[in-house]
Chains A and B, each alone.
Chain A
């Protein structure tokens, strides 16, 4: 009797788990299936779940009919640059905030946390006017600069969390040995939190890669668009070209999903340290 009850509970439990995983993955799977369907099967009624043939035409379209290759390159350049800059100047600030003694530390940390919560829209008009007067609209610098608005506070906040988790006393021991502050930071502390730097870098990169509002507002030149904006604004005559859209979505998403799955542990560690915006 107990055995039978257990079995039923188990079946219910695993059905719930299965349903849960299906809900999480189905939209993406559906997008993928759509992207390889022959054109007439996309608009089949009732919906045809599995394609009868593997159609690569939409994947060819996005690189020949649309400048999707440009979008990928633009996104990569902007996101990588903003991430590197934020990590470089963020790490030394985070080290000071986490491990050195000075006044106004708490207000400073609060201020940085507040900046990381700034709504993008609240900085939009001045940055637009600034970029326009510097002739930086439609340039890479014109996106890298605003991306630092959210990526730098995020990098500082997360790295401060990681630095403060290191045991106390490293610095004292090193300075007794005659090491200078620069030695301690570059030779001891940075190598120690290398994995954390990598986690933070990934999170910052994903946030920059996915950014939409700045990229929409500061770029009007079609070829300079980033992936999220480029896909959303794929040209259409009367209806969205769903085949092209789904192929582009798959190409834009697969690298991210791969990154996230390969570095799952690092990403979760970064996400849950001090909690950051998703």
Chain B
């Protein structure tokens, strides 16, 4: 089919559109696109701010090659992947559960919906501090409750062994972020057509059958969008770990390590390479999710 040349009216409309977008696009190029490209560029250089006389020579992919022999980087990436998988899975579980609950009519539903916003609204660094105090080995709430319930025989130092520290971080992260998942899923649930459930009920489908054959398939897009955002956030985890453990006991995430390389060791070349790796992983994760979600992610048809 041959394209008709655009009418003058359409051309005027396009011109206005670009004018209206110009300020935002220019600002985004300066504050977002340029820095990311420059990070790629810096990652190809030997650049230590401690040694400004070096002229920051170009070294190709040497920084990336270094990550393969840097056992700390490898450990951190594996830790981050494990943290991401476990927290996102738990958030999906609790988020879905909470959403199903809040979708039921019951007395106190308004209160529940308000309460679920509280963890979400608290700054991550503050919630990390709150929980750090809860995990305190002597006068923390966690020890107190578990001891009274008889779950633990004696007070424990929750932030001293690697497995306990990991569990503490996971609990804190899930507490803080599953409400977001729950709210997105709840919004999806509320858009499901009630008639489908009515007719399925008439056909004798039980609760689980209805969940499996109506709710899950229709919720696919909502769940994928929620999972996408949470996975990306979990993989670049920084605030929580930085405040709660500083990366001790084998809980250093790759973002923490990249930040240390740059801001503490002033190793901008190698630090940027680590940042690029995070960027690429996040990018690949988004591509995979987007393939499944398709273009209805966009607000236009």
**Residues of chain A whose beta carbon lies under 8 Å from any beta carbon of chain B:** 13-14, 16-17, 20-21, 23-28, 30-31, 34, 42-47, 89-90, 92-93, 95-98, 100-103, 105-106, 108-110, 112-115, 117-130, 145-146, 148-149, 152-153, 156-157, 160-161, 164, 181, 185, 206, 209-210, 212-213, 216-217, 227-229, 231-232, 240, 242, 245-246, 249, 252-253, 256-257, 259-261, 264, 267-268, 271-272, 274-278
Give bound CA distance, A189 to B90, whole Å: 41
Contact (Cβ within 8 A) A126 B112: no
Q: Given the interface contacts A30-B130, A212-B238, does A253 sit within 8 Å of B121 by beta carbon?
A: yes
Give bound CA distance, A160 to B108, whole Å: 34
Report whether over half of chain A's contact residues are helix, strand or loop; otherwise say mixed: helix
Interface residue stretch chosen among B30-38, B65-73, B196-204, B208-216: B30-38
Closest B residue by C-beta to A112 = B28
Contact (Cβ within 8 A) B34 A89: no
Closest B residue by C-beta to A85 = B27
Give bound CA distance, A200 to B114, whole Å: 19
Closest A residue by C-beta to B11 = A102
Chain A residues within an 8 Å CB radius of B177: 278
Chain B residues within an 8 Å CB radius of A20: 98, 101, 112
Query: Which of A108, A124, A249, A253 has the largest count of B CB atoms less than 10 A from its CB?
Result: A124
Contact (Cβ within 8 A) A260 B117: yes
**Interface magnitude class on chain B:** 35 or more
Give bound CA distance, A194 to B187, whole Å: 22
Give bound CA distance, A43 to B51, whole Å: 47
Closest A residue by C-beta to B256 = A121
Interface residue stretch chosen among B16-24, B81-89, B162-170: B16-24
**What 1/0 mask marks residues of chain B from 159 to 188 whose CB sits below 8 Å from any chain A CB?**
000000000000000010101100110110
- Tell whether B119 is near chain A: CB-to-CB under 8 Å: yes
Q: Quick one: which of B123-142 are within 8 Å of A by CB?
A: 123-134, 136, 138-141
Chain B residues within an 8 Å CB radius of A127: 31, 35
Contact (Cβ within 8 A) A278 B120: yes
Query: Which of B27, B183, B258, B272 has the largest count of A CB atoms less than 10 A from its CB?
Result: B27
- Tell whether B288 is near chain A: CB-to-CB under 8 Å: no
